[in-house]
Amino acid sequence: MMHSEFIPKYLPKTVNSGSVVCQAPSNIALVKYWGKYGEQLPQNASVSFTLSECRTETTLYFEKTTEDSTFNFEVYLDGKRETGFEPKIRKFFERIYSYVPFLKMYQFKIETKNTFPHSSGIASSASGMGALSMCLVAIENKLGANYDTHFSNKKASFLARLGSGSAARSIEGPLVVWGEHPQLEGSSNLFGMKYPYTVHENFKDYQDSILLVDKGEKQVSSTVGHDLMNGNPYAEARFKTANGNLEKLISVFESGDISAFINIVESEALQLHGMMMASEPYFILMKPNTLEIINRIWQLRNDTGSKVCFTLDAGANVHVLYPISEKEVVQQFIETQLSPFCKNGEYIHDGCGLGATIVNS
Ligand code: PMV
C-alpha cells in the first residue's frame, strides 16, 4: 500500500551536488515493539525515551549521476569503507524509493559515526536509520519540497521506520509513541510522534545508564526475533498486554507515580524476553550477569526505597532507569555494585534527549 502523503509531488529545484549532516539518537522502549506485519508495521503500539548521548552522526554527500537505473552509494563508518552495511542500506533504499524519487538520480557517499562504540551491543540501527532519514528529508527540502519542521520530522520518522521499526521513535523526544492506539490521538503505525499528553515533573530528564554486559554481535537479529512472533502461541496476548500497558502509562505519566511506572517497565522487559523463551526455536538472551544486575537493583529498591529500575532490549545489556533526583546515588551504586558485572566494567550514562537534529544543510 502506498502512502501518498509521503510522495513528493514536485521538486522544482536542481542541485548538482552537495552534502548534509544530521544526527539522531538511540532510544529505549518502555513498552516494547516485538512483532510486526506488512511493511514494517508494528503489532502493538510502543513508547520510548529518546536518548541524548548515544547518537549517530551521518554526512550524506550527493552528486548528480547520468546512470539513473540503480542505487549508487558507498557507506563509511569512522572513515573506513564498510561494505558489510551496504546490503541493509540497499534494502532500505528499495523500500523507500517510491517516497524518495531522487534516490537514483544521485550517487551518494554515506559517512557515519557513532558516539558509542559500534561493538557495544547498543542498537545503532535506530540512530543510524534516523540520521540517514533526516539527511534524505533535508536533501528533499533543498530540492524545493519546502516541508515545515513538523512534516519534515514526520517524513523522517516514516522513512526511518522502513529501515528499522524502532528508528521511527528516534526523530523526536523526550517521549515518543509509535503505533496506532485508540487512547493516543494522532498515533499511527506509519511514524512516531511526540507523546501528546501531560508528563509529570518526575519523568523530566529521566536517566538511563546502559550497562554493557555482552558486547558481541546480537545473538538473534531483530528481523528473526520479530518473525518468531508469527508462530508464538502467546503472541496475541502479548500484543494486547502491550497496548494495555501503554494505556496504563498515560495516567502514570500524568500522576508521576514512579512505582507504577517501574511495575510496567520491568514487566515489559521481562515479557519481551519471555516471548523469546517461548518462541520456536527458543532463545535466552540474558546472561548470568544480566540477572545479577537485576537482583541487585531489586535489592537496592528494597533496602533504600530508591526508584531505580531496569529495562532490557533484545540482548543481555541492562538499561538502568532512574529519576534525575537520584542521579548521584544511583551512579555511585552502578560504579561500585554493578560495574563488576559489565564486560570490562563498561557502562554509558545517558538521559532523555530531544531527538534528531540537522547539523549542517
Ligand atoms: O527496530 P528493530 O526492528 O530492531 O526492533 C527493536 C525491538 C526492540 O528494541 C527489542 C524493542 C523496541 O521497541 O525498541
Q: How confident is the model at residue 123 (pLDDT cuts 50, 70, 90)?
A: low
Mean pLDDT of 121-144: 93
The whole-angstrom separation of Cα 54 and Cα 167 is: 13
Confidence (pLDDT) at 119:
63
Using omega within 30 degrees of 0 as the cis cutoff, is the peptide bond preceding 281 cis?
yes
Confidence (pLDDT) at 196:
98
Tens digits of residue pLDDT in 256-308: 999 999 999 999 999 999 999 999 999 999 999 999 999 999 999 999 999 99
Q: How confident is the model at residue 121 (pLDDT cuts 50, 70, 90)?
A: low
Confidence (pLDDT) at 117:
75
Mean pLDDT of 140-154: 98
Region of 208 on the Ramachandran plot (φ > 0 left; ψ -120 to 50 alpha; else beta): beta
Confidence (pLDDT) at 332:
98
For ligand 1, say whether the CB of 29 is within 6 Å of any of its atoms: yes
Quote the distance between the C-alpha of residue 172 and its chain's center: 11
CA of 144 to the centre of ligand 1 (A): 34
Say yes or no to pLDDT of 67 above 80: no
For ligand 1, say whether the CB of 166 is within 6 Å of any of its atoms: yes
State whether residue 301 is helix, strand or coil.
helix
Mean pLDDT of 220-225: 92
Radius of gyration of the chain (CA): 20
Decide if 229 contacts 35 (C-beta within 8 A).
yes
For ligand 1, say whether the CB of 271 is within 6 Å of any of its atoms: no
Query: Whole-model pTM above 0.85?
Result: yes
Say yes or no to pLDDT of 254 above 90: yes
> 92: which residues sit within 8 A by CB, 6+ positions away?
129, 132, 162, 163
CA of 70 to the centre of ligand 1 (A): 30
Burial 88-108 (b: 16+ CB within 10 A, else e): ebeebbebbeebbebbbbbbb
Mean pLDDT of 203-226: 91
Mean pLDDT of the residues in the chain: 96
Mean pLDDT of 72-85: 96
CA of 164 to the centre of ligand 1 (A): 8
pLDDT exceeding 70 applies to what percent of the chain?
Answer: 98
The dotted CATH code for 205-351 is: 3.30.70.890
Q: Provide CATH 3.30.230.10 ranges for the chain.
A: 15-198+354-360
For ligand 1, say whether the CB of 165 is within 6 Å of any of its atoms: yes
Q: How confident is the model at residue 124 (pLDDT cuts 50, 70, 90)?
A: confident
Confidence (pLDDT) at 69:
86
For ligand 1, say whether the CB of 153 is within 6 Å of any of its atoms: no
| Closest atom of ligand 1 relative to the 32 alpha carbon | 13
CA of 222 to the centre of ligand 1 (A): 7
State whether residue 313 is helix, strand or coil.
coil
Using alpha carbons, list the distances in angstroms from residue 198 to 15, 203, 264, 286. Answer: 43, 11, 18, 34
Confidence (pLDDT) at 47:
98
| Closest atom of ligand 1 relative to the 165 alpha carbon | 1
Widest Cα–Cα separation across the chain: 68
For ligand 1, say whether the CB of 114 is within 6 Å of any of its atoms: no
Mean pLDDT of 41-69: 95
Mean pLDDT of 81-106: 96
Burial 204-227 (b: 16+ CB within 10 A, else e): eebbbbbbbbbbeebbbebeebbe
Confidence (pLDDT) at 154:
98
| Closest atom of ligand 1 relative to the 272 alpha carbon | 10
Say yes or no to pLDDT of 1 above 90: no
Q: Determine the residue type at 55.
A: R
The dotted CATH code for 15-198+354-360 is: 3.30.230.10
For ligand 1, say whether the CB of 32 is within 6 Å of any of its atoms: yes
CA of 33 to the centre of ligand 1 (A): 6
Confidence (pLDDT) at 310:
98
For ligand 1, say whether the CB of 43 is within 6 Å of any of its atoms: no
Confidence (pLDDT) at 165:
97
Terminal CA-CA length for the chain: 32
For ligand 1, say whether the CB of 33 is within 6 Å of any of its atoms: yes
Tens digits of residue pLDDT in 99-118: 999 999 999 999 999 998 76
Q: Provide CATH 3.30.70.890 ranges for the chain.
A: 205-351
For ligand 1, say whether the CB of 46 is within 6 Å of any of its atoms: yes
Taking CA atoms only, the protein residue closest to ligand 1 atom 4 is: 222
Tens digits of residue pLDDT in 156-199: 999 999 999 999 999 999 999 999 999 999 999 999 999 999 99
Burial 249-270 (b: 16+ CB within 10 A, else e): bbebbeebebeebbebbbebbb
For ligand 1, say whether the CB of 222 is within 6 Å of any of its atoms: yes
State whether residue 1 is helix, strand or coil.
coil
